[in-house]
A = this chain, B = another copy of it.
């Protein structure tokens, strides 16, 4: 089932009415964390008919709580409150809450209705779209999960006003990735500028790019893999730093986009001019972190164990030009190390 997307503001009664209609006649559970509880729930309560009687379930925020154990607690509550398959779970929060909410709904009685209300830029432009749901399993990110699209997704850019600056930056990396994939140089030039403002129109355009890819290849057999641009290196960095000084996903993706562009340039796939343009766009938006050279082996080995890898050498999506990604490019340890050195990350 494809999701129905709604763009607007819960301050607007017509938009709130759409959510009222989507939950009409259903028992409702709202899944959230302490941040979305504090910043976002009251707006919904005031404007959406029927929500005030909802079951509110608050999970502690953060990736470390994206576990089966947390899901079991929610399944227990759904069961105790006798939710049926026709009732609905609303995931109100960032990527962790959306991913877990979708997973919980997909498994409960083999599938209950689910609605996403993403409250961070990253969740809006990435996690909420495309039907990937799941939880972490030990140190492995999204190791258990299923493809399950929510019936509706509500995008309200006013929630962005509640976010700290680093959360906005987190989402920007995925937006830049989308425009690199479709080769929209004009948009990337805008994003290089300090004047660039994220509004509902920008979110809608970015979502449309991902949606278009996902609809053509929902189960990630080919085209959808291009969305992994920047992510092979990003997952290596995130995994390595997890028990040290965790790196936000968006920042890791920004690092990954730069390193992978350098690998493409070093391999003669990408022209130096194109690499320079990509570096300019990224450097205008992100502050780079340095790693130690002796850590590179650990990072490389983490990329090897990535869920999406099934060979003895990590494979990456690389750009041959703006808008021209190619899949399954094998990257040796030497190629990775050289690129990390070249972009001054070690």
Contact = CB atoms under 8 A, between A and B. Distances in A.
B310 A86 contact: yes
A284 interface: no
Contacts of A107: 134, 144-146
Interface string A65-82: 000100010011001001
Contacts of A307: 85, 109-110
A147 interface: yes
Q: Which 3 A-B pairs have the closest CB atoms?
A: A84-B310, A107-B144, A110-B145
Contacts of A305: 82
Contacts of A15: none
A143 interface: yes
A310 B85 contact: yes
Nearest to A83: B310
Given A85-B308, A86-B310, A108-B143, 19 more contacts: A68-B68, A68-B72, A75-B143, A76-B138, A79-B137, A79-B138, A79-B140, A79-B143, A82-B305, A85-B310, A107-B134, A107-B144, A108-B144, A109-B143, A109-B307, A110-B132, A110-B142, A110-B147, A110-B307
22 contacts: A68-B68, A68-B72, A75-B143, A75-B144, A76-B138, A79-B138, A82-B305, A84-B309, A85-B307, A85-B310, A86-B310, A107-B134, A107-B144, A108-B143, A109-B143, A109-B307, A110-B132, A110-B142, A110-B145, A111-B147, A111-B219, A146-B146
Interface string A206-241: 000000000000010000000000000000000000
Contacts of A82: 305
B146 A106 contact: yes
Q: Interface SS of chain A: helix, strand, loop or mixed?
A: mixed
Contacts of A79: 137-138, 140, 143
Contacts of A85: 307-308, 310
A157 B57 CA distance: 49
Contacts of A76: 138
A147 B148 CA distance: 11
Contacts of A68: 68, 72
Contacts of A144: 75, 107-109
A147 B111 CA distance: 9
A117 to B, nearest CB: 23
A134 B75 CA distance: 14
Nearest to A138: B79
A108 to B, nearest CB: 7
A110 B137 contact: no
A219 B144 CA distance: 22
Interface string A46-74: 00000000000000000000001000100
Contacts of A310: 84-86
Contacts of A138: 76, 79
Contacts of A108: 143-144
A85 B147 CA distance: 14
Interface in A118-155: 132, 134, 137-138, 140, 142-147
Contacts of A309: 84
